[in-house]
Amino acid sequence: MKLKLRPPLTGLLLLLAAQIPFSAFAAGGDNKLEIFSWWTSGGEAAALDTLFAATKKAIPGVEIINATVAGGGGSAARPVLQARLAGGNPPDSWQIHPGWELLGQYVAANYCEPITDLYKSEGWDKVVPKGLIDLMTKDGNTYAVLVGVHRGNVLWYNKKVLQKNGINAGDKMTFDEFFAAAEKLKAAGVTPLAVGDSGIWATAQLFENTLLGTVGPQGWTDLFTGKMAWDDPKVKQAAETYGKMLAYQNSDHSALTWDQAVKAVIEGRCAFTSMGDWTYGEFAKAKLKDKEDFGWVSHPGTDGAFIVVSDGFPLPKNAPHRQNAISWLKVCGSKEAQEAFSPLKGSIPARTDVDKSKFGPYHNWSMQSFAKDALLPSCVHGEAAPAAFQQALNDAVTTFVVDKNADTFVKALAQAAKDSEMAK
């Protein structure tokens, strides 16, 4: 059925149109830029603002539409975005993780334009590690620019709480050391581990970190390339260790978001939290100081490995404001913007030519780790595996948190891996 405008309405529209300058109807004539992300926590929003401020300088008079959907890890944002993309209503750019998420969900569906030329004209091909560019490249075309690289496998702690309880976290930590500290804290009436898994991904990340701490970097690569089975005894061992850790978590974990769990650490209600270094953004926002108020160590057993959780932005096909979208991408890839963004976000710049003296102890530690450690893609954040496997992991974790059955857990993962195109 065709929609017919009734005559009085037609008249009204003509009247309105007569009052609107013609330029407003010209393609791309409106000076707007809509950016879609899930950066809504205190630290995330503050960091995003630095990118917006730089964009406003680059595009005078631009009106930025900050299209956010709350929910850490993007679990709530992605379905909204998918509906918009499928409906032909893309924002001007959106937050992506490289690897499977970008290539499998957006590039394969033909939603993105290559931006390979920008890599040359902006010189990004010379300053962004090739390994990262490869994660965004298909058939010789690169599809996104990265603004920062998070380290996923970090165990954060409230320094004063540990000191008060005579605990020294050291430069690296084993699972046994973690459990000894947890026992001590529990005996002193402090909740050892803060988890905020109202979005299940946060506890899936606790498992992901524990999995790496158990199977090591080679085991990680083998699992995601089909060389090691997901029901291997080592994966089961990781599930059991993860189950043991859950016994030390806060009782209200399922009611809290990841940043509320960080708040529990900030306020000293809990001692540790195992979470990517967007956590740093929350500490920074609360004006806490590296090594004085809070400390960190690699998640137990993961010293020498860096789980990459990188954030980038692509150029959509039919971007509503294409020129502004390109200016946004240029800002995201610039040295100045990355130097301003990272200290507030917790990630390190994707560019390696930044001035390290502009960064504090945590960032320098993470930059060193990035330069020398085994770099591994995250599954919980969509890089290492297709969306179906990522979802299967979240589902298996949801069940495990309740039944703690390691056998069913690894069986579910093994089945999901078989069904997935990940290792084919």
Spatial CA neighbour of 151 closest among 360, 371, 335, 355: 371
Strands 63-68 and 294-298: unpaired
**Residue 34 binds to ligand BGC (criterion: CB under 6 A):** no
236, 321, 351, 381: which one binds ligand BGC (CB under 6 A):
381
Pairing state between β 93-94 and 32-37: parallel
Among 48, 64, 73, 302, binds ligand BGC (CB under 6 A): 73
- Using CB under 6 A as the binding rule, whether residue 280 contacts ligand BGC is answered as no
The smaller minimum CB distance to ligand BGC, of residues 45 and 65, is found at: 45
In angstroms, give the least distance from the CB of 382 to ligand BGC: 8
Taking the least distance from each CB to ligand BGC, the nearer of 107 and 262 is: 262
Structure tokens at 312: 């980038």
| Binding of residue 309 to ligand BGC (CB under 6 A) | yes
Q: Cβ of residue 260: shortest distance to ligand BGC, in angstroms?
A: 12
By beta-carbon proximity to ligand BGC, the closer residue of 73 and 243 is 73
Site string for ligand BGC, 87-116 (x = CB under 6 A): ------------------------------
Cα 415 from Cα 396, distance rounded (Å): 11
Q: Which is nearer to ligand BGC, 34 or 208 (CB)?
A: 208
Q: Report the nearest approach of ligand BGC to the CB of residue 227 (Å).
A: 27
Q: With binding defined as CB under 6 A, does residue 311 bind ligand BGC?
A: yes
144 binds ligand BGC (CB under 6 A): no
Q: Does 321 bind ligand BGC (CB under 6 A)?
A: no
DSSP characters over 45-89: HHHHHHHHHHHHHHSTT-EEEEEE--SGGGTTHHHHHHHHHHTT-
Which ranges of 129-232 would DSSP assign to H, the alpha helix? 130-134, 159-164, 175-187, 201-224
Single out the residue of 178, 278, 313, 359 in contact with ligand BGC (rule: CB under 6 A): 278
E strand spans, 190-331: 191-193, 270-274, 294-298, 305-316
Nearer to ligand BGC, 59 or 341 (CB): 341
DSSP state of 101: I
Count of residues binding ligand BGC (CB under 6 A)?
10
Rule CB under 6 A: is residue 78 a binding residue for ligand BGC? no
> With respect to ligand BGC, which residue has the nearer C-beta, 66 or 116?
66
Distance CA 83, CA 250 (A): 35
At residue 290, the 3 state secondary structure works out as strand
Q: CB of 72: closest distance to ligand BGC in angstroms?
A: 3
Place of tokens 């891996």: 417
Separation of alpha carbons 88 and 190, rounded Å: 51
Cβ atoms of 153 and 299 closer than 8 Å: yes
* Buried-state track 192-229, b at ≥16 Cβ within 10 A, e below 16: bbbbbbbbbbbbbbbbbbbbbbbbbbebbbbbbeeebb
Is 377 near ligand BGC (CB under 6 A)?
A: no
Out of 55, 72, 94, 325, point to the residue binding ligand BGC (CB under 6 A): 72
* Residue 44 binds to ligand BGC (criterion: CB under 6 A): yes
Give the angle 292-297-302 at the CA atoms, nearest 5°: 175
Closer to ligand BGC at the Cβ: 151 or 330? Answer: 151
Q: Considering only residues 147-166, where is the footprint of ligand BGC by CB under 6 A?
A: 150
Q: Which residues bind ligand BGC (CB under 6 A)?
A: 38, 44, 72-74, 150, 278, 309, 311, 381
